[in-house]
């Protein structure tokens, strides 16, 4: 089951990366499929928790540098076939049947997708219709690399915490944070692809999600969100002369961070109250 979890993790991430590369209506289909695969990932994880099997979020490297979309679609289809064969290791036969059925449908759709050139790795560092100064381009590049990794990290951290919690109040907050990080990751990933600097986030060390103190994690997380707000504000200020549209986007992200901080404070208060009542 551990290998099944790893391969599903890799498939989710590669399918998401393929979505970033596409400039046609295939993008939304690939995003939809990545969502389905991520649900598979969480269901497999839940089964492992229920059976007491240890696991982590380690994975192998995922090569994604291609010149045309069809190349990565072939890789995804191959991964799906291999994953389908590994479902024999899944003790939950209903789950295995569901995943297998999803895989077969997704493979048919992916096989019918039209090929298109991929410019996600040309390092042009340009956005369509926007002319940025070298300083603004450097600031945006740094932001996208740092924040795309952070959002991937937060998706997995909150997913891990949610998987190990039976607290409905806390899990509602965790799910909001997962959904928000997914939106941010997709937004940043699309921009990285358009700028020709797309990359797979590095593997997350298990110490980041297998936390000893959730309360301390939340305190640190609040500080990180405040720092992220500052980065968004600085980036908005850096690009506003070149693109008001881009500046407004980062103001939009900045204001979303305010709500994230509120949610994390609510979660922290909930944990501290439970400890006192405990």
Q: Indicate whether 163 and 138 sit together in one domain.
A: yes
In the chain, the number of structural domains is 2
Number of Cα atoms under 13 Å in the Cβ half of residue 257? 22
CATH of the domain at 138: 1.20.1260.10
Q: Which domain holds residue 193?
A: 120-278
Under 8 Å between Cβ of 89 and 43: no
**68: helix, strand or coil:** strand
Q: Indicate whether 125 and 262 sit together in one domain.
A: yes
Q: Indicate whether 72 and 156 sit together in one domain.
A: no
Q: Is the pLDDT of residue 278 over 80?
A: no
Domain's final residue, options 118, 139, 173: 118
**211: helix, strand or coil:** coil
* Integer Cα distance of 249 and 245 in angstroms: 6
* Integer Cα distance of 199 and 121 in angstroms: 8
Number of H helices and E strands in the chain, helices first, is 8, 0
Q: Indicate whether 86 and 31 sit together in one domain.
A: yes
* Integer Cα distance of 36 and 68 in angstroms: 24
Q: Indicate whether 108 and 129 sit together in one domain.
A: no
> Tens of pLDDT along 144-183?
999 999 999 999 999 999 999 999 999 999 999 999 999 9
Q: Indicate whether 70 and 135 sit together in one domain.
A: no
Residue corresponding to tokens 């040309």: 122
Lookup: tokens for 146: 């740092």
Q: Indicate whether 143 and 73 sit together in one domain.
A: no
If one counts every other C-beta atom within 10 angstroms of the C-beta of residue 230, the result is: 12
How sure is the predictor about 209, in pLDDT bands with cuts at 50, 70 and 90?
Answer: very high
Q: Indicate whether 130 and 254 sit together in one domain.
A: yes
Q: Indicate whether 101 and 14 sit together in one domain.
A: yes
Lookup: tokens for 128: 């369509």
Higher pLDDT, 225 or 56: 56
Domain's final residue, options 94, 118, 142: 118
Domain's final residue, options 118, 143, 159: 118
Query: Which of these, 212, 257, 251, 259, lies nearest to 234 by C-alpha position?
Result: 251
> Tens of pLDDT along 102-130?
999 999 999 999 999 999 999 999 998 88
Mean pLDDT of the residues in the chain = 94
Over residues 62-90, mean pLDDT = 96
Q: Indicate whether 100 and 168 sit together in one domain.
A: no
Q: Is the pLDDT of residue 258 over 70?
A: yes
Per-residue model confidence (pLDDT) at position 9? 98
Q: Indicate whether 46 and 150 sit together in one domain.
A: no
If one counts every other C-beta atom within 10 angstroms of the C-beta of residue 194, the result is: 19
3-state secondary structure 159-220: HHHHHCCCCHHHHHHHHHHHHHHHHHHHHHHHHHHHCCCCCCCCCCCHHHCCCCCHHHHHHH
Q: Indicate whether 107 and 130 sit together in one domain.
A: no
């Amino acid at each position: 089951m551990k290998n099944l979890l790893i391969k599903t993790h890799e498939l989710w991430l590669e399918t998401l990366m393929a979505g970033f590369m596409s400039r046609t209506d295939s993008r939304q289909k690939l995003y939809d499929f990545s969502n389905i695969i991520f649900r598979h990932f969480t269901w497999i994880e839940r089964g492992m928790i229920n059976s007491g099997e240890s696991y982590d979020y380690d994975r192998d490297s995922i090569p994604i540098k291609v010149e045309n979309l069809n190349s990565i679609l072939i890789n995804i289809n191959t991964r799906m076939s291999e994953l389908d064969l590994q479902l024999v290791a899944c003790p939950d036969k209903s789950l295995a049947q569901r995943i297998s059925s999803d895989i077969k449908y997704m493979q048919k759709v992916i096989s019918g997708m039209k090929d298109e050139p991929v410019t996600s790795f040309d390092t042009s560092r340009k956005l369509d219709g926007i002319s940025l100064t070298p300083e603004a381009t450097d600031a945006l590049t740094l932001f996208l690399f740092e924040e795309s990794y952070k959002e991937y990290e937060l998706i997995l951290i909150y997913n891990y915490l949610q998987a190990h919690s039976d607290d409905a109040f806390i899990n509602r907050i965790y799910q909001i944070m997962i959904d928000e990080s997914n939106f941010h990751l997709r937004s940043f990933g699309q921009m990285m692809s358009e700028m020709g600097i797309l990359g797979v986030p590095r593997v997350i060390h298990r110490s980041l999600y297998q936390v000893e103190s959730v309360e301390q994690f939340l305190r640190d997380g609040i500080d990180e969100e405040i720092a992220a707000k500052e980065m968004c504000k600085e980036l908005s200020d850096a690009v506003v002369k070149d693109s008001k549209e881009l500046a407004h986007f980062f103001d939009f992200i900045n204001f979303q961070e305010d709500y994230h901080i509120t949610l994390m404070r609510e979660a922290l208060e909930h944990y501290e109250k439970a400890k006192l009542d405990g």
